[in-house]
């Protein structure tokens, strides 16, 4: 089971990250440069690497370090799903030393993933989510 955590994405690691993004339905249209800029401007980016040093999991966080932390883009490589890596990534974020004072962790997910996140302590909110796209 992969167990090497990283928090920086440079060189070849950027290409591995982009490869993860290019295979997911909600991120497959993003451009390489935009993904790299996004990671650089996230407050926390977590990667999980395999024994062969392949990036197999990722998530990122935007936070005020006090009240809220928004978790985005939880991705596990398709070859590594079913091994509890999504759970490990979420737990790594919640237990991260820079986020110990955060009171509320939030994330977006499709309805089919609500049972998964519910097992990790997340509950469906009551507030409406409003969007404004550019």
Domain positions in the chain are 4-119
HSE on the CB side for 31, CA within 13 Å? Answer: 3
Convert the pLDDT of each residue in 56-97 to its tens digit. Answer: 999 999 999 999 999 999 999 999 999 999 999 999 999 999
Residue 1: predicted pLDDT: 67
Convert the pLDDT of each residue in 3-38 to its tens digit. Answer: 799 999 999 999 999 999 999 998 889 999 999 999
How is residue 69 written in tokens? 């932390």
HSE on the CB side for 29, CA within 13 Å? Answer: 2
Residue 105: predicted pLDDT: 96
Model's pTM, two decimal places?
A: 0.91
Asked if residues 82 and 90 have their Cβ atoms less than 8 Å apart, the reply is no
* CATH superfamily label, 4-119: Gcn5-related N-acetyltransferase (GNAT) (3.40.630.30)
């Amino acid at each position: 089971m992969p167990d090497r955590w990283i928090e920086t994405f440079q060189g070849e690691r950027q290409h591995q990250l982009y490869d993860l993004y290019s295979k997911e339905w909600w991120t497959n249209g993003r451009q390489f440069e935009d993904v790299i800029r996004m990671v650089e401007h996230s407050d926390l980016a977590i990667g999980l690497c395999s024994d062969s040093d392949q990036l197999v999991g990722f998530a990122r966080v935007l936070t005020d370090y006090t009240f809220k932390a928004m978790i985005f883009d939880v991705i596990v490589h398709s070859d590594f799903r079913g091994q509890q890596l999504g759970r490990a990534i979420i737990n790594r974020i919640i237990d991260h030393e820079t986020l110990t004072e955060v009171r509320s962790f939030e994330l977006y997910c499709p309805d089919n993933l609500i049972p998964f996140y519910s097992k990790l302590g997340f509950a469906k909110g009551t507030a409406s989510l409003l969007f404004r796209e550019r």
